[in-house]
Amino acid sequence: MVPRPRAGGWEQTGMNELPRLLAVTTDTVCRLPDYLAKARAIAGAGPALGVGLVVRAPRATTAEQARMTQATLEVAGAAPVIVHARPDLARAVGAAGVQLRRGDLAPSDARTVFPAGWIGVSVHSEEEAVEAIREGADYLVAGSVFESPTHPDQPGRGLAWLRPICRLDRPVFAIGGITPERVEQVHEAGAWGVAAVSALWSPADQAAAARALLAPWPAGDSVSVTVNGEPTRVRTPLTLADLLGRLELDSRAVVVELNRRIVRRADLAETAVRAGDAVELVHFVGGG
CB 280 within 8 A of CB 244: no
pLDDT tens for 228-244 read 988 776 766 678 988 88
CA distance 78 to 96: 11
pLDDT tens for 132-146 read 999 999 999 999 999
pLDDT tens for 8-64 read 333 333 334 689 999 999 999 999 999 999 999 999 885 555 899 999 999 999 999
User: Residues 140-166: what's their mean pLDDT?
Assistant: 91
- Provide the mean pLDDT of the chain: 87
**Given pLDDT bands bounded at 50, 70 and 90, which one contains residue 1?**
very low
pLDDT for 262: 94
pLDDT for 221: 57
CA distance 64 to 23: 19
CA distance 122 to 195: 11
Tell if the pTM clears 0.85, that is, is over it. no
What whole-number percentage of the chain has pLDDT above 90?
67
What domains does the chain contain, in order, with CATH numbers? Answer: 21-217 (3.20.20.70), 223-283 (3.10.20.30)
pLDDT for 112: 97
pLDDT for 49: 58
Lowest mean pLDDT segment, chosen from 75-79, 122-126, 184-188, 242-246: 242-246
